[in-house]
Structure 1
Amino acid sequence: MQLELISHASVIVRTADAVVWSDPWRTSKVFNNSWTLLVPAAPVDLDEIDHLWLSHEHPDHFNIPTLRALPEPFKRRVVVLFQANNSDKMFAALHKLGFANTRALPHRQQVQLRGDTRVYCYQVGQMDSCLAVLDGHATVLNINDAEAGPRDCAIIRGDIGPTQVVLNQFSLAGHGGEGDPAAVLPRKASQILANMIANHRDLGAELTVPIASFVYFSSVDNAYMNAYANTPRHVADAFASAGLGLAVLAHGERYTVGEPRDSDDNTRALRRYDEIYAELPALPKDPVPPATLAEISAALDLTAARLRDLYPPWFLRAWLRPISIQIVDLGATIELDLPRGRLRLTPGAAPDVSLHAQPLLFTLQHPFGLQTLGVSARLRVHANRANWHRHRILLSMFNAELYLRPDLLFTRRNLELLRARLHGGLGQLRDQLARMRG
């Protein structure tokens, strides 16, 4: 089995029978134009690819401009793999993009691709998933940025045995805006390295390959994040201190699973990444586009009406309280009442949250908008955090198509998802809520 790093979380896994390309991202900015590829994507021989795997719907993994630009014959031939869950929206989107062949991967089941090559999908949280590729000789597990915890690793190892190579996120992928970044973000960055080491040990891995973090925060209101990024050098130092195996791959570099790999083998890639990260402060940053209160109010009306169709109005009013928002570039503070679809100016009020107008507009225009706001790190949370967390939870459910109107909640698809995720799901929920509180 052979691995090749293409870009960010995009990796090609080759076995004797199949070639799987994960999370293609070769062009465009993502997360409301707030992330940019730090290293250009390596070239890909499309003729050899027979399967694409998309880990989840975030645009650095499900990158629509990249997928749209792929040639039509390739789209008609390749098989796209995606997790089976309670929604068909991703499969519908793929068919709209021209992909003729899709395959839903059930949670925690091995699926044969070709010959001896099998894949195993493990879902984490409401959106993320991991993929193991097994060929009878080795197992490679792509965690990407799924934040698998000890319980998850124990279940995965119980299902498929030890993993030879783990592909894992190595740096910050957003900030929810809570706390002083100078105090909070170094601790979070260190925790990511600790999680990589824990995953490596819990999965019985021989090597970890750092992926899924080769980006920079490229808007003027989130560029502060770059000062706290983990680099491949940080990962190499942490794994060397722990006495664990690491393969730092340059973009376009291939590694054959099972071949010995030591620090000297990583030297060329590390030196190149050192040069790239040294230039990070000077990379271009985009200004925040303008937006108006009228646009924000119109988007609020539409979102509130949609929520009232999908959730009991009494629940929305009981669960969510109005939020005081300081809109930095408009010099205005507003009270936003999502359940009722109301917005009013409140000059001089102490804000719960502060941000620019366009990120707020984007948040209200898309079901995934609030998640994007946190990933893009374009807000500050000052007060009433519990209320803000409730908004995050409700809008995450909205994006995941988990609606609380009884006729929409107790569907066959939702019940099947609940049954499939029952073992380990409660532990994941506890871990996710703990991360949100942190």
Structure 2
Amino acid sequence: MKMEMQCIAASDLREYRRTLGTFTTGITIVTTRDSEGRPVGMTVNSFNSVSLDPPLILWSLSRGARSFATFSESETWAVHILSAEQETLSRRFATSGNDKFAGIDVEPGLGDVPLLKNCCARLQCKTAFRHEAGDHLILVGEVIDFDRSNLPPLVFQAGAYAALLPKFEPLGVAQPRQRPKRAACSMQARSRARAGGDRNMQIQFIGHASFSVLARGKRLVCDPWLSGKVFNDSWAQVSPPMQVDWSTVDYLWLSHEHPDHFHFPTLKAIPLVDKQRIIVLYQNHTSKRIVDALRKLGFARVTELPLYQWTKLEQDIEVYCGSVGSMDSFLAVRSEGKCILNLNDCVLNPRQLRYVKSALGPITVLFTQFSIANWVGNDHDELGGSEKKLDELRWQARIVKPDHIVPFASFVYFCNEENRRMNAWINTPDTIAGQGIPGLHFMYPGDVWNLEKDDAASANALQRYREDFNAEKAIDPTPPAVPEEQLMKAARNSMTAFTAHFPRQRKRVPALTIHLTDVDKQLRFDPATGLVAMSPHDPAHPCRFTMCSQAAWYMFNFPWGGGTLEVSGMYRDTQRRESGPHPFFFYQNRISTQFLEFGNFYEGSRTLAFLWRKKWELAYRFMPPLAALNNEAGNTERG
């Protein structure tokens, strides 16, 4: 008996498709070869299993597909179940009219069918049955061969791509760990990485400002920068960092948004299966930008740490996060009766240090920056930045009184022709070692320190750093000149943003005058009038700033551009010592970090809450004057 089908009205078809879209599916690509031997492929999500014995699968082929004739007649084809990192490939094979296989490395399969790589699974089939089904043809295939990996799948839901996330309990709730199976070598590496028992708290140095803490079988990694250059390619690492096996990592803490701490390429390269599992810790900042960026990178578990209070991570593992300035933060990790304090780039005066010390109690290990990390002069260290860093180390030793101090976060050199002069003023590990600071302890990338045994090889690390700092280093040439129209467009856009954010304050901001050395022109950027103008360089009217056109373009083109320029030192400032930093940098930093936003009720409430949480940090920063605090540091009691 023929069954009568009820048709859906054309007006309801869209809603019907949306209804079907609520069913979450995986994504596949089906491939074959046409009668002339050319590879053919298409993206399909109408895939299903049919039978185990015999092994049968099916998928539906639209009669409107350009490859309908090929697939409907083909006797051999392959189904590829796509992994989470193959969204681009899925989109490519879902588009008609292009050479889908161009530049793709394939393997020959059954009947010379092209097989794609790096999939969750591949099933090679022979056509077993063909069934008519409305505007589709159902193809049933007998599985002749198959293979699979442990990669997480790409999924599709409600008309959009997605990633499959395991279900987790809230932070701090104990739970059994459900991990995808990994290759035996990876599991063995994990066992080796955690060898030594739960009672041995260990530190492993990764490089520059990054290290890991292992406590109670849990590993926390801080601020990984594992490749490349940063700050407009103006910084490079002196010593190569060790690479991280992310399958051994449980927590990832990021101190702030500077790229040597929040390094996008490193974070992006973390395998998705680990991004879904690792808990990322970040300060509860007034702005949600960094948290949102982390989630867009695929991190499923992002926790905003409350400021200036202890937070429990696991049994006998707790952390204390503090905010300093507009973006910096520090972290203390306490476990097994020991406390590790990571100050990284935070600049704290003696009164602030006393407050932190009182909150944390005894410090076992202090990690702290030891050299300059921004512009300090044109032809010499005009601001005395290197000596100030030594003073900070002395304050920290006197006030915090840690058992050990590990200098870090300064293992870089200025790697461009435009800033190489600053290499003459940096503090090296040998500089620090000669200061007579008690408890100094150097760690080289890859070094492991068992705090129970106090067995880190500091002397060996110091010698290796000495060799790295003394070695000849690659210096990049001045960046290519930026076309005038491109630079002017960036400057005008920056002016538009500046005047929109600060309609009243801009009247008090003096003009930026810049001599562009590589094109011998000068640019005037005047917030008070909104003027952006380019003219030939006139030595009779000297500019305050001197830089190449690419550095100027970068400064205007990105909200963080001014901060990058300050850190890179790729400029000269004839008035800095007398006048201080140009106000433009302060206001652009406000736009970039969003730390003082009052545009609406939500922004205002977050800003006020942020400022309230760090009220003591602010109070001790501005009262009493820093000069008095400097005198206090020299007379700090030892108790």
- 2:582 aligned counterpart, secondary structure: helix
Does residue 393 in structure 1 map to residue 582 in structure 2? no
Larger gyration radius, structure 1 or structure 2: 2
Q: Work out the CA distance in 1 between the residues paired with 2:360 and 2:394.
A: 20
Q: Work out the CA distance in 2 between the residues paired with 1:96 and 1:386.
A: 41
The letter of the residue matching 1:298 is K
> CA shift at 1:223, angstroms?
0.9
- Superposed CA deviations along residues 25-75 of structure 1, whole A, max 9, x for unmatched, are 111210011111211111323222100000000000000001111111111
1:271 to 451, 463, 467: 463
**Alpha-carbon contact 1:149-1:199 (below 8 Å) kept:** no
> CA shift at 1:309, angstroms?
2.6
Root mean square deviation of aligned Cα: 2.3
Equivalent residue number for residue 154 of structure 1? 354
Equivalent residue number for residue 245 of structure 1? 439
1:140 to 324, 328, 340: 340
Equivalent residue number for residue 182 of structure 1? 380
- 1:141 aligned counterpart, secondary structure: strand
> CA shift at 1:152, angstroms?
2.2
Percent identity between matched residues is: 30
Q: Work out the CA distance in 2 between the residues paired with 1:189 and 1:432.
A: 22
Q: Work out the CA distance in 1 between the residues paired with 2:528 and 2:317.
A: 49
Equivalent residue number for residue 505 of structure 2? 315
Equivalent residue number for residue 606 of structure 2? 413
> CA shift at 1:114, angstroms?
0.8
Does residue 226 in structure 1 map to residue 423 in structure 2? yes
Aligned residues: 423
Equivalent residue number for residue 484 of structure 2? 293
Equivalent residue number for residue 362 of structure 1? 554
Does residue 217 in structure 1 map to residue 439 in structure 2? no
Does residue 16 in structure 1 map to residue 216 in structure 2? yes
Q: Work out the CA distance in 2 between the residues paired with 1:303 and 1:104.
A: 31
TM-score of the pair, normalised by structure 2: 0.63
- 1:107 aligned counterpart, secondary structure: coil
Unaligned regions of 5+ residues in structure 2, if any?
Answer: 1-200, 628-639
Structure 1 residues 174 and 298, CA gap change in structure 2 (3 angstroms): same
Q: Work out the CA distance in 2 between the residues paired with 1:225 and 1:275.
A: 19
- Superposed CA deviations along residues 379-400 of structure 1, whole A, max 9, x for unmatched, are 1111376485311221121112
**Alpha-carbon contact 2:239-2:465 (below 8 Å) kept:** no
User: After alignment, is 52-61 or 336-345 more displaced?
Assistant: 336-345
Q: Work out the CA distance in 2 between the residues paired with 1:304 and 1:409.
A: 26
> CA shift at 1:260, angstroms?
4.2
Q: Work out the CA distance in 1 between the residues paired with 2:269 and 2:603.
A: 38
> CA shift at 1:325, angstroms?
1.1
Map 1:23-422; keep pairs closer than 5 Å: 23-175=223-375, 179-184=377-382, 187-238=384-435, 241-242=436-437, 244-260=438-454, 265-280=457-472, 282-311=473-502, 313-317=503-507, 319-346=508-535, 347-348=537-538, 349-383=541-575, 386=579, 388-402=581-595, 407=600, 411-422=604-615
Q: Work out the CA distance in 2 between the residues paired with 1:408 and 1:375.
A: 33
**Alpha-carbon contact 1:223-1:285 (below 8 Å) kept:** no
- 2:266 aligned counterpart, secondary structure: helix
Q: Work out the CA distance in 1 between the residues paired with 2:289 and 2:582.
A: 25
Q: Work out the CA distance in 1 between the residues paired with 2:596 and 2:236.
A: 33
Equivalent residue number for residue 49 of structure 2? none
Structure with more strand by fraction: 2
The letter of the residue matching 2:524 is E
**Alpha-carbon contact 1:300-1:342 (below 8 Å) kept:** no
- 2:434 aligned counterpart, secondary structure: helix
Q: Work out the CA distance in 1 between the residues paired with 2:623 and 2:512.
A: 26
Q: Work out the CA distance in 2 between the residues paired with 1:344 and 1:235.
A: 46
Structure 1 residues 160 and 433, CA gap change in structure 2 (3 angstroms): closer
**Alpha-carbon contact 1:300-1:338 (below 8 Å) kept:** no
User: After alignment, is 117-126 or 375-384 more displaced?
Assistant: 375-384
> CA shift at 1:404, angstroms?
6.6
The letter of the residue matching 1:182 is H
> CA shift at 1:203, angstroms?
1.1
The letter of the residue matching 1:288 is P
Q: Work out the CA distance in 1 between the residues paired with 2:451 and 2:607.
A: 38
The letter of the residue matching 1:184 is E
Structure 1 residues 121 and 432, CA gap change in structure 2 (3 angstroms): farther
The letter of the residue matching 2:487 is I
Q: Work out the CA distance in 2 between the residues paired with 1:122 and 1:408.
A: 25
Q: Work out the CA distance in 1 between the residues paired with 2:555 and 2:468.
A: 32
The letter of the residue matching 2:521 is A
Equivalent residue number for residue 44 of structure 2? none
The letter of the residue matching 2:511 is P
- Superposed CA deviations along residues 181-232 of structure 1, whole A, max 9, x for unmatched, are 42426x3212212211211221120100111111111111011111222111
**Alpha-carbon contact 2:324-2:617 (below 8 Å) kept:** no
Structure number with the bigger relative contact order (C-alpha 8 A, sep ≥ 6) is 1
TM-score of the pair, normalised by structure 1: 0.91
**Alpha-carbon contact 1:17-1:114 (below 8 Å) kept:** no
**Alpha-carbon contact 2:344-2:408 (below 8 Å) kept:** yes
Structure 1 residues 54 and 286, CA gap change in structure 2 (3 angstroms): farther
The letter of the residue matching 2:345 is D
**Alpha-carbon contact 1:83-1:106 (below 8 Å) kept:** yes
- 2:504 aligned counterpart, secondary structure: helix
The letter of the residue matching 2:299 is F
**Alpha-carbon contact 2:373-2:410 (below 8 Å) kept:** yes
Unaligned regions of 5+ residues in structure 1, if any?
Answer: none
Structure 1 residues 388 and 169, CA gap change in structure 2 (3 angstroms): closer
Q: Work out the CA distance in 2 between the residues paired with 1:296 and 1:405.
A: 31
Equivalent residue number for residue 96 of structure 2? none
- Superposed CA deviations along residues 255-281 of structure 1, whole A, max 9, x for unmatched, are 12254469xx4221111111111114x
